[in-house]
Chains A and B, each alone.
Chain A
Amino acid sequence: ELKVEQNPLFLSMQEGKNYTIYCNYSTTSDRLYWYRQDPGKSLESLFVLLSNGAVKQEGRLMASLDTKARLSTLHITAAVHDLSATYFCAVDPPYNQGGKLIFGQGTELSVKP
Chain B
Amino acid sequence: DTGVSQNPRHKITKRGQNVTFRCDPISEHNRLYWYRQTLGQGPEFLTYFQNEAQLEKSRLLSDRFSAERPKGSFSTLEIQRTEQGDSAMYLCASSLRGRMNEKLFFGSGTQLSVL
Stretch from A14-22, A73-81, A93-101 contacting the other chain:
A93-101
Contact (Cβ within 8 A) A45 B104:
yes
**B102: which A residues are within 8 A, CB to CB?**
99
How many residues on the B side are at the interface (Cβ–Cβ under 8 A)?
26
Interface size class of A (residues with CB under 8 A): 20 to 34
27 contacts between A and B (CB under 8 A): A4-B42, A42-B106, A42-B109, A43-B43, A43-B91, A44-B106, A45-B103, A50-B101, A97-B55, A98-B33, A98-B48, A98-B56, A99-B31, A99-B45, A99-B95, A99-B102, A100-B33, A100-B45, A100-B48, A100-B56, A101-B43, A101-B45, A103-B42, A103-B43, A104-B42, A105-B42, A106-B41
Q: Which 5 A-B pairs give the minimum distances between C-beta atoms?
A: A103-B42, A43-B106, A42-B106, A42-B108, A100-B45
A positions within 8 Å CB-CB of B:
4, 33, 35, 41-45, 48, 50, 88, 90, 97-106
Q: A4-B42, A45-B104, A99-B48 are in contact. List 14 more A-B contacts (CB 8 A).
A: A41-B108, A42-B107, A43-B43, A45-B103, A88-B43, A97-B56, A98-B48, A98-B50, A99-B33, A99-B45, A100-B56, A101-B43, A101-B104, A105-B41
